[in-house]
Amino acid sequence: MSLKASTGAPFARILSVGSATPSRVIDNDYLCQFIDSSDEWITQRTGIKERRWVGEGENIETLSVAAATSAIERSGVPLDQIDAVIVATISHYEQTPALAPKLAHQLGLGDAAAYDISAACAGFSYGLAQGEAMIRGGQATYVLLVAGETISDITDPTDRSTAFLFGDGAGAVVLGPSETNGIGPVVWGSDGGQYDAIRMNHTIGSGVKAGVFPTIQMDGQAVFKWATGYIAKAARRCLDEAGISPEELDVFIPHQANNRITDTLLRYLKLPEKVVVARTITHLGNNSAATIPMAMDALLTSGEAKSGQTALIIGFGAGLVYAGQVITLP
């Protein structure tokens, strides 16, 4: 007896992207009511001028459904052909069940396989690697990848080292089979030795803080050092693994953690001037897993980037974990 094996498409690509931003605009002056800081300091140290937080009637589900609906409509893929839903998030409150099955149901995707992944700000690229492998391995023909975050829910507005960094939002892509390759090899990894560099201050219901919702804590300098050293090298490896030279690149979409990190990555990679660089951090802040697809959608919508161009994406964050790929823009 021999078992049948699933066989998939020769290649996969991103067919479409969509995103959703919440309505509340939070500028630096607003946050400076709660922390000893200034618009000038936050702008100089991070590049952030404002971020969006969820308001009345908005939450991780509404944002994720809106981003996914936009991506599905733009893809033209019928709902019943989407076989799998992956949600990348660190801000869905419930340990179980996952957000993905609920979204699949709300979107009318039938009995699509659905699960969440927790890879923080690298979550989109982790999910992309999984979706691409599913399509090439024959586990799915079309995959919906959603990155949804409401980091404001787990941010302490009085914490001077994190309060100004994060924003809420969602981005989504539909992945499908392709005759030519649209998703380069993933370069990914982790450094659990720095597990505490970005962490929660406690778990729900634990010890003296029982009943107090946990919030993000961060050793900003350790993350900065890792991102400008190790991640710069990983970004170079993404290009090498995909067989792309810096001159052949059109667009660079690094995780939007800090404009100074982006500047350091640019210097290390020696990207030519013509490369369009995502800077959505200025008005969206750091949206964790959602950052890269939100920036991708923003660049395509504004016309700064074009469908079919070659882009380098790389995400990095709590874990510490990272992942990046060279992709063809949808």
Ligand X SMILES: CC(C)(COP(=O)(O)OP(=O)(O)OC[C@H]1O[C@@H](n2cnc3c(N)ncnc32)[C@H](O)[C@@H]1OP(=O)(O)O)[C@@H](O)C(=O)NCCC(=O)NCCS
Query: Interface residues for ligand X in 96-135 (CB under 6 A)?
Result: 121
For ligand X, the binding residue among 21, 46, 91, 178 (CB under 6 A) is 46
Query: Distance (Å, rounded) from C-alpha 154 to C-alpha 6?
Result: 41
3-state SS, 16-47, equals EEEEECCCEEEEHHHHCCCCCCCHHHHHHHHC
For ligand X, the binding residue among 37, 118, 139, 181 (CB under 6 A) is 37
Determine whether 121 is an active site residue. Answer: yes
Site string for ligand X, 187-226 (x = CB under 6 A): -------------------------------x-xx-xx--
Determine whether 92 is an active site residue. Answer: no
Per rule CB under 6 A, is residue 317 in the interface with ligand X?
Answer: yes
User: β-strands 310-317, 251-254: how paired?
Assistant: parallel
**57 closest CA partner among 69, 68, 65:** 65
We find the least distance from the C-beta atom of residue 101 to ligand X, in angstroms, to be: 27
Nearer to ligand X, 88 or 114 (CB): 88
We find the least distance from the C-beta atom of residue 243 to ligand X, in angstroms, to be: 28
Per rule CB under 6 A, is residue 49 in the interface with ligand X?
Answer: no
The answer to whether residues 36 and 270 touch, using CB atoms and an 8 Å cutoff, is: no
Nearer to ligand X, 154 or 175 (CB): 154
Query: Distance (Å, rounded) from C-alpha 200 to C-alpha 217?
Result: 6
**319 closest CA partner among 299, 292, 291, 289:** 289
Strand ranges (E), the chain = 11-20, 24-27, 50-53, 82-88, 113-117, 142-150, 168-178, 187-190, 198-200, 216-218, 251-254, 276-277, 310-317, 321-328
Instruction: Give the interface segment with ligand X, choosing from 141-149, 159-167, 187-195, 230-238 (CB under 6 A).
Output: 159-167
Nearer to ligand X, 41 or 213 (CB): 41
The encoded tokens of residue 314 equal 């790389």
We find the least distance from the C-beta atom of residue 188 to ligand X, in angstroms, to be: 15
The answer to whether residues 252 and 271 touch, using CB atoms and an 8 Å cutoff, is: yes
Per rule CB under 6 A, is residue 244 in the interface with ligand X?
Answer: no
For ligand X, the binding residue among 10, 41, 240, 306 (CB under 6 A) is 41
Per rule CB under 6 A, is residue 292 in the interface with ligand X?
Answer: no
For ligand X, the binding residue among 258, 259, 262, 325 (CB under 6 A) is 258
Nearer to ligand X, 75 or 262 (CB): 262
Determine whether 255 is an active site residue. Answer: yes
For ligand X, the binding residue among 15, 187, 232, 257 (CB under 6 A) is 257
The count of residues in the chain is 330
The answer to whether residues 251 and 223 touch, using CB atoms and an 8 Å cutoff, is: no
Instruction: Give the interface segment with ligand X, choosing from 35-43, 60-68, 111-119, 180-188 (CB under 6 A).
Output: 35-43
The active-site residue out of 92, 121, 259, 287 is 121
Q: How many other C-beta atoms are found inside a 10 Å radius of the C-beta of residue 213?
A: 13
User: β-strands 82-88, 142-150: how paired?
Assistant: parallel
Give 78: exposed, middle or buried? Use CB within 10 Å, 0-12, 13-18, 19+.
exposed
We find the least distance from the C-beta atom of residue 199 to ligand X, in angstroms, to be: 12
The active-site residue out of 28, 92, 238, 255 is 255
Per rule CB under 6 A, is residue 47 in the interface with ligand X?
Answer: no
Interacting residues with ligand X (CB under 6 A): 35, 37, 41, 45-46, 121, 160-161, 164, 218, 220-221, 223-224, 257-258, 286, 317
Catalytic residues: 121, 255, 286
